Amino acid sequence: MTNAKRNIGIDWLRIISTMMIIALHLNLYGDLLGIKPILSKNYIAIWTVEVICYCAVNCYGLISGYVNFEKEWKIKRIINLYLQVIFYSIFFALIFKFLFPNMVSNKEIIASCFPVFFERYWYFTAYFALYFMIPYLNKLIHAMNQKEYQKLIAIFIIVFSIIPTMRTSDLFKTGYGYSPLWLMILYLIGAYMKKYPPKIKKSYKMITLIASIGLVLSSKLIFDFLGLKNTFWRKESQFLLQYSSPFILIIAIILLDLFSKIKRKENKIIYFFSKVSFAVYLIHNNPVIVKNFPYDWYKNRIEESLLFYIIYIVVATIMIYLICSIIEYIRAKGFEIIEKFWNKIKPTIKAEPKKENDQKKIKLTKLFEQ
């Protein structure tokens, strides 16, 4: 059963964000971002998808603050996530090692056993660090009034988003958003949106959303056009397309606000696909799979046909989500059966040593009576 207080809009955002991450990875691992000729209709379509989907990781960071700042912090949560990461990390490494021994080295097997230490999944590594800061971030959130909270967020955005973007460099070492520091900033913004829900007209939000996407995309294409004559512009063409970019942040904030206000009845199907979204990320982005799966199979076909790309990105994204969801469902059910079996035999295991101890005590008493 789903939680009575569960926000179905957040579940929808989790699902859509995960699908956007899959689309980003299909573009990246399929080597589609460098498709030629530059500024062709196919090139523009691919980068349009890229820009629209780029906010997905920020959405996840915002959601973590939105849903967690009022929850009781429990070490069990991060342990369960860590065990899930280890399972998929080791599972696929061993499967590939068994089926294709030359594809997986012994070093990769070792790295798979320590996914955080070897940063097998950058987002989970960053979130792992963030999780231990959450209790103190929550205390800070509850201690501040609204004006103080607004000032803190404004400082973070100016220092870690606006200034580095204007400078076109990772000036204050947030890793362009690939870091626990950036996730911490997103956590604080997400928590603020839950504590003080924005009261902005939906029409204004939609205009800002479309304008932000349009600005990021147009800047990319304009710099690409200038880069045809001078490679300097080509190198700087993605300066607005970073997780820490203020416009990518704005897009994510608007999406969180829009989805959090969806008022619908609970839906078991939506709840299921939201629940497995983290596993979908772990499976499809497993380092061993990414390294060995031929994502660029359709690159030549995509270069020739825009329609093929549109069909490919939609169908492949949905299929990957569904297949990974089925794998996670089987894993969860398997562990559920093991847990039930263990709970059944655990009392008998505990009882047997007790019987042996009782028998020993009886023998000793008889010995002393003699």
Supply the mean pLDDT for the chain.
90
Per-residue model confidence (pLDDT) at position 370: 47
Tokens of 229: 């004559």
Contact 328, 334 (CB under 8 A): no
Q: Is the pLDDT of residue 3 over 50?
A: no
Per-residue model confidence (pLDDT) at position 137: 96
Percentage of the chain with pLDDT > 70?
93
Q: Which residue has the higher pLDDT, 324 or 236?
A: 324
Residue 91's pLDDT band (cuts 50, 70, 90): very high
Summarize the confidence of residues 242-263 as an average pLDDT: 96
pLDDT digit string, tens, across residues 254-309 = 999 999 999 888 889 999 999 999 999 999 999 999 998 888 888 889 988 999 99
Q: Is the pLDDT of residue 233 over 90?
A: no
Contact 77, 128 (CB under 8 A): no
Query: What are the helix (H) ranges across 100-133?
Result: 106-113, 122-131
Query: What are the helix (H) ranges across the chain?
Result: 8-29, 41-53, 56-68, 75-99, 106-113, 122-131, 134-143, 146-157, 163-167, 180-195, 202-227, 231-235, 246-260, 268-275, 277-284, 287-292, 299-304, 306-369
pLDDT digit string, tens, across residues 144-175 = 999 999 999 999 999 999 999 999 888 999 99
Query: CB neighbours of 62 closer than 8 A, spacing ≥ 6?
Result: 186, 187, 189, 190, 193, 252, 253, 256
Q: Which residue has the higher pLDDT, 56 or 35?
A: 56
Q: Is the pLDDT of residue 75 over 90?
A: yes
Q: Is the pLDDT of residue 347 over 90?
A: no
d(C-alpha 108, C-alpha 18), whole Å: 26
Summarize the confidence of residues 103-114 as an average pLDDT: 91
